[in-house]
Amino acid sequence: MLEELTEKEFQEFSKESPSRNFMETIEIGNLRKANEWTINYLGLKENGKIVGATLLLSKKRHFNKYEFYALRGPLLDYNDKKLVSTFLSELKKYVKKHNGYCLRLDPYLPLRRFDGKNNELSLNYAPNITLNVLNSLGFKKTEQEEQVSSMYVLNLKDKSENDILKEMKANTRNCIRKTIKNGIEVVELQKEELQEFYDVMIETGKRKGFDVRNISYYENMYDIFSKNGEIKYLVTRLNLDKYVELLENEIKENETKKQKLSASSCNDGKRKEFETTIESLKKRINIAKEQKKEANKSVITLAGSMFVMTRPEIVYLSSGNSEKYMMYNSQYLIQWEMIKYAIANGYERYNFYGTPITSKKDKSYGIYEFKAGFNGFMEQLIGEYVVATSPIYYLINLIHKIKKS
């Protein structure tokens, strides 16, 4: 039988759980509570010791009945068939007892992992154990999922910065080096500075056609996760005056090298290369000067990203970039700075999070291509499942289908 857990009990258990994730935390529980969900922390104990737990959300929906949702849970040893079966069976009973018409859950459990060549990688779990239990209890795969179920992950365990750099694709490595050479800076924002990040998100949302949450969401995320240092908002900035100065110095260096060449015709090719490089640098200077004029300031914001850090992984949760500054490729530098932070602080996984499984023909392929440049692997979760705990569930579904038709 499931028992109510205190926040402290749940937090202590979740920190040791192999399926721990940032969604199954008291921080997200408090955030959902602020959005009018009822929060319960439930656990299964054996000999007084917690062996499984979940953050369970509930909200009154229709006919005075409640929808229940085990967000990214439960936290279990998914190789223990008896434990999985007992916990999910007891959870279903709990929902039915507490006037629920359905139970949704989407465990943080990989179904498969595969690399860039579509080679299957080994799993620490046997997903069929859970899938068979879900099927036996009447759970069905949902048509639409609330959370992402495919993500791109970089394994950092026992890796150094040099290891990661060597394993990257050449283009990704070169982009990182160019951003550093161009003097782009990565800056961590405090709560009162989040408007800078939000402005970039708004611009990106308008360009790509997706809705951006209100700034209060990002402020609330900062409040709840910053208490334990588990969130970072990073932006990239470029000082255009310093950037122009760098380019001007580079022109001088190329002019000097060109002048040192002898008048021999055998140097015509090298001379042409220097001239082409100089012209390219001059064009970049002109662009930078126009950008300064348009922005009416010397320091511009190029991109912004939000990261949540719950061991053993760092999750790249949200990001945006300014279209007119995409030429600087600063999003590569943000990722590299956070990867270095993860390695230095003992994180084992760097999770690029939502990454669609697409082909080169799809518009979203660029998202995958950018992340794949860091040479990690795709991870597909088992997804979201739902089980009816009252006949009302089928009536509600029928009403929804009629409304859509």
Domain containing 389: what range?
3-147+382-404
C-alpha span between 254 and 281 (Å, rounded): 10
One domain for residues 167 and 225: yes
Question: In the prediction, which pLDDT does 381 show?
Answer: 96
Contacts of 109 (CB under 8 A, 6+ apart): 19, 78, 125, 127, 130, 381, 382
One domain for residues 369 and 316: yes
Tokens of 258: 């060109």
Amino acid code (one letter) for 145: E
One domain for residues 111 and 11: yes
pTM check: above 0.75: yes
CATH code for position 189: 3.40.630.30
Question: In the prediction, which pLDDT does 265 show?
Answer: 67
Question: In the prediction, which pLDDT does 117 show?
Answer: 84
Question: In the prediction, which pLDDT does 363 show?
Answer: 77
One domain for residues 129 and 278: no
If one counts the domains in the chain, the total is 3
One domain for residues 31 and 141: yes
Of residues 371, 394, 342, 383, the one with CA closest to residue 104: 383
Contacts of 405 (CB under 8 A, 6+ apart): none
Task: Give the pLDDT of the chain (405 residues) as one tens digit per residue.
Answer: 999 999 999 999 999 998 999 999 999 999 999 889 999 999 999 999 999 999 999 999 988 999 999 999 999 999 999 999 999 999 999 999 999 999 999 999 999 999 988 899 999 888 999 999 999 999 999 988 999 999 999 999 999 999 999 999 999 999 999 999 999 999 999 999 999 999 999 999 999 888 999 999 999 999 999 999 999 999 999 999 999 999 999 999 999 988 888 777 677 788 899 999 999 999 999 999 999 999 999 999 999 999 999 999 999 999 999 999 999 999 999 999 999 999 999 999 999 999 987 777 787 788 899 999 999 999 999 999 999 999 999 998 888 788 776
- What H or E segment, with its residue span, contains residue 288? helix 268-295
